[in-house]
Structure 1
Amino acid sequence: MLKQVSLICFLVFSCYMGAESQELKHLTNELQVNVAASRVWELYRHLGISRLTAQQLQNVIQNVQVLEGDGGVGTKLKLTFAPGNSSYTERFVEVDDEKMVKVAKGLEGGCLAIGCSVQIVRLEIIEKSSGSCIIRSDIGYAVKEEFEANDPKPNIQLLAAAAQIAKRFLESSEISASV
């Protein structure tokens, strides 16, 4: 029964993403963290990484607002950036605890405001050993035909900064716990 539900969810997700997903360009950032993958996933799984990043980057992120949901699939999150009050809103479309993958689809703002037709953020925690893992952040995007000459791109710097913040936070917590 669970496999049937998983297959149905996959098919619905595939249809939701549409043919655009095959034409996506990608920006990817990877960072090794010397902490167990399960601990990193705990931070990324719900809203922890968003809140921690906003707390650490107050000069960049003015506000993180949960418009609906609790951090699981269907959660709608709005980031408001400082100082110009531009914003980005996304909906979590996949949260897979087994694969440690979280996927969000951009709804407005971000590269959607400058000519992209789709923006998909994929966060994946990849176990390397019992005490280390990789945080892989990927933004898939497609550009509207009329904006191709401008070559708009999303900015992966915020996701890279979030990974660095997670690394510092979790690795310092590991050191504190072992002392």
Structure 2
Amino acid sequence: MFGKVEHELEMHAPASEVWDLYGGLQLGKVVVAELPQMFEKVDLIQGDGGPGTVLKLTFAPGVLVPESTSNKEKFTKVDNKKRIKETEVIEGGYLDLGFTLFRVRFEVTEKGEESSILKSTIEYEVKEENTSNASLVSVQPLVVLAEFGKTYLNKNKAAKETN
């Protein structure tokens, strides 16, 4: 069984700034301090933020799925020109529940000089015998990450303007 959930949010920041946050390792560096209700730790296992980078995400209790507190994800696509990043869970998390694919994609589209759209997508595939677990997939963590990014970028913009 294949499924997909998406979320879009207009960001009041240039696409280049949104991409700087979501396109590499920056997001992982700031979410632990800024979103402790979601993330306990984000560890860089290998890589520099490009394709092949592997992160271990340790989630706050109840964020991921009841049976799991962490997973490893691999950056499978980082397209700086099109501003698309894809990551796939390669260990733990949803894979422990019969999913054969759990992919997260961030895509940043320029809307105007000071505005852009962040589109967040989860694509998943789950084994037939585990299709009931598809109900565990939620766009809500992506909504939280998008809203966080919007607030974070606006706060940084305001700080720059007052200096």
With normalisation by structure 2, the TM-score equals: 0.88
> Which amino acid counterpart does residue 160 of structure 2 have in structure 1?
A
% identical equivalent positions: 36
In structure 1, what is the equivalent of residue 159 of structure 2?
176
Q: In structure 2, what is the equivalent of residue 103 of structure 1?
A: 86
1:53, distance to aligned residue in structure 2 (A): 1.7
Are residues 1:47 and 2:19 paired?
no
Give 2:120's aligned residue.
137
Which digits, 9 at most, give the CA deviation of each residue in 1:143-173, with x for residues without a partner? 1011124434433322221111110111122
Displacement of 1:83: 3.5
User: Which runs of 5 or more structure 2 residues have no equivalent in the other structure?
Assistant: 63-67
- 2:52 is aligned to 74
How do 1:1-179 residues align onto structure 2 when only pairs under 5 Å count? 24-83=2-61, 86-179=69-162
Which aligned runs of 4 or more in structure 1 are off by greater than 3 angstroms?
149-153
Task: Look up the match of 1:9.
Answer: none
Aligned equivalents of 1:154 and 1:109: distance in 2? 15
Instruction: Kindly indicate which of the two structures has a greater share of residues assigned to helix.
Output: 1
TM-score, normalised relative to structure 1: 0.80
- Taking only aligned residues, the RMSD between alpha carbons, in angstroms, comes to 1.8
Larger radius of gyration: 1
| Structure 2 counterpart SS, 1:178 | helix
Greater percentage in strand: 2
